[in-house]
Structure 1
Amino acid sequence: MSASTGFAAVPWRGREVRVEYVRIAPERTDAPLVVFLHEGLGSVAMWKDFPERLCEAGGFRGLVFSRPGYGQSTPREPDEFWDVDFMHRQAHEVLPAFFEAIGLTEKPWLFGHSDGGSISLLYAARFPDRVAGLVGLAPHIFVEDVTVANIELARKAYLETDLPTKLSRYHADVDSAFWGWNRIWLHPPFRDWNIEAELDAIRCPVLAMQGIDDEYGTLAQIRGIAERVPGTKLLEIPHCGHSPHRDQPEQAIVAAVSFIANPGESLYLSRK
């Protein structure tokens, strides 16, 4: 299975930014394309080998990229503050511009984790005819107290421990990545952020999975998606925290591969 790396020039916020990306198995020209959207502190490198493992298991092609501000993509400007609409802007502005820059014209499957899952949902709602289907891992559709409390703990850890050093393995500018995510989630007006009503516009198949022990959100998040998007498949995973692809990777891979191959089957509903 081959992989190729590159950078795309994307116009955004009045300047051109570089977006790093990796194509997985591009030679599989007839296979479904899965686009991986990372978490709030993620990047291409943060996924490690999970995208390759999923694509190998399903015979898929993959596209993994780092959003502006993360990984090896262009960092935030020092005075650039992301507002309450930052995930909307990623879904409505950055993602379409990135797809155009790399010449993507087909309908991909979106595979998003955490903030990346929310961005996937927002993209599928705004552009319902451009998505084949969507797999969301621990996406957020509204803000919960448990989420804010643990993001506050992350801020404390960033200031008082070696967390910046650990994150620097995955980001060229670790302050850009951390503070872009942390400050907006702790910004008081962000407590009212809610995308539930926007989910009504989604028309593609959806699989939403979440760990039962998720420290950044309750199962009300994915159950709320099912209430809004008819036919949504749910997978609630025991012994799993906020990152199913790290905590229970085999279960996440099996569920995602089966869903993409047969999105109409209802094999994954699991509630405790």
Structure 2
Amino acid sequence: MTSQDIICQQNWLQGPYGALFVARWQPAVPAINPVRAPIILLHDSLGCVALWRGFPATLSASSGREVIAYDRAGFGRSEARHHSMPLDFIEQEACGDLQAVIEGLALERFILLGHSVGGGMAIAGAATHHARCQAVITLAAQAMVEELTLNGIREAQRLFAEPDQRARLARYHGSRTEWVLSAWIDSWLAPAFRDWCLDASLAALRCPLLVIHGAQDEYGSATQPARLTENAGRGAELHLLDDCGHVPHREQPEEVMTRLVRFLAACA
């Protein structure tokens, strides 16, 4: 099966902060084993459904599972938010928009896959919904705040001061662009956020964990995936990819998909 054999359905669900845009990828000819848990994708700090690009369709075709992605409130096509993000926004996602998607789609079981901050949200979600979550996967996730992370954000802040860079982001977030940037930059650079870490959520994990991280990730050193795997409540599998930065599924798509399919084959 190829990604061309996959169809995508789009709709909106009601979340705690308003309407959420949701997309679901499935084979045009129903061939997915309904017993297999679907995969829910959680996007990064500047991401949205559209910025996953062809990844969800390829993942669905390669794994034989339904793939679901949603725009968090304030991002992409979901309803705008007007308040600043609380400092526990990563942990709050588990009982916020993510829970709205789980309940709105009546998902009894699922697998969580998150990129960057979405990886942290996936771990928090797996810890909170441990009775339903069958596995969790992180791509370039942060386990804590380190200076490399902050320096990367400061550099991005400088780049996004340029009108053309903001315009590129606005293609996906429209009038929400300023809020999206603030939600990322102001949250991570806040002094009160400096001691944040995922240790409590990791210790509460009750499902398998796959960690994929680029050795040249500009937002997190190899200390990040090491902390994820060392503090996980269940056994964890780590793949540190050479010559790879912060977007492994785009920089090394074949290698990442091979690792994902192999890991998912052992999951319910």
TM-score by length of structure 1 reads 0.90
Displacement of 1:140 after TM fit? 1.2
Partner in structure 2 of residue 36 of structure 1: 41
Matched to 2:166, the amino acid is: P
Name the structure 2 match of 1:238.
Answer: 242
Does residue 1:10 correspond to 2:29, yes or no? no
Deviation string, structure 1 residues 41-91 (Cα, Å, up to 9, x no partner) = 1000010011111111111111011101111011221xx111211111112
Q: 2:110 aligns with which of 91, 95, 108?
A: 108
Amino acid at match of 2:54: D
Q: Secondary structure at the match of 1:214?
A: coil
Deviates more, 1:110-119 or 1:226-235: 226-235
Matched, 1:152 2:154: yes
How many residue pairs get matched?
Answer: 257
Return the letter of the residue paired with 2:67.
G
Aligned to 1:223: 226
- What's the counterpart of residue 203 of structure 2? 200
- Contact 2:137–2:209 under 8 Å retained in 1: yes
Give per-residue Cα distances to partners, 1:80-109, cap 9 Å, x unaligned: 1112111111123221122212332x2111
Give, in whole Å, the separation in 1 of the partners of 2:181 and 2:12. Answer: 22
Cα displacement (A) at 1:8: 0.6
Does the residue aligned with 1:192 lie in a helix, a strand or coil?
Answer: coil
The residue correspondences of 1:137-216 to structure 2 (distance < 5 A) are 137-172=139-174, 173-216=176-219
Other structure's SS at 1:234 match: strand
Equivalent-residue separation in structure 2 for 1:197 and 1:116 (angstroms): 17
Match of 2:265 in 1: 261
Displacement of 1:263 in angstroms is: 5.2
Where structure 1 has 5 or more consecutive residues not aligned to the other structure, the ranges are 265-272
Q: Which of residues 33, 54, 72 is equivalent to 2:59?
A: 54
Corresponding residue SS for 1:64:
strand
The answer to whether the 8 Å contact 2:14/2:100 transfers is: no
Determine if contact 1:34/1:110 at 8 Å carries over to the other structure: yes
**C-alpha separation in 2, matches of 1:176 and 1:75:** 9
Q: What root-mean-square deviation, in Å, do the aligned CA atoms of Structure 1 and Structure 2 show? A: 1.6
Q: For residues 48 and 253 of structure 1, what CA distance do their matches in structure 2 show?
A: 14
Counterpart CA distance in 2 for 1:161 and 1:186 is: 22
Displacement after TM superposition at 1:161 (Å): 4.4
Q: Structure 1 residue 252: deviation in Å?
A: 0.9
**Tell me, what secondary structure is at the counterpart of 2:68?**
strand
Whether the 8 Å CA contact 2:13–2:21 is kept in 1: the answer is: yes
Identity within the alignment, %: 33
Is 1:67 the counterpart of 2:72 in the alignment? yes
Q: Secondary structure at the match of 1:24?
A: strand
TM-score (norm 2): 0.91
SS of the residue corresponding to residue 21 of structure 1 reads strand
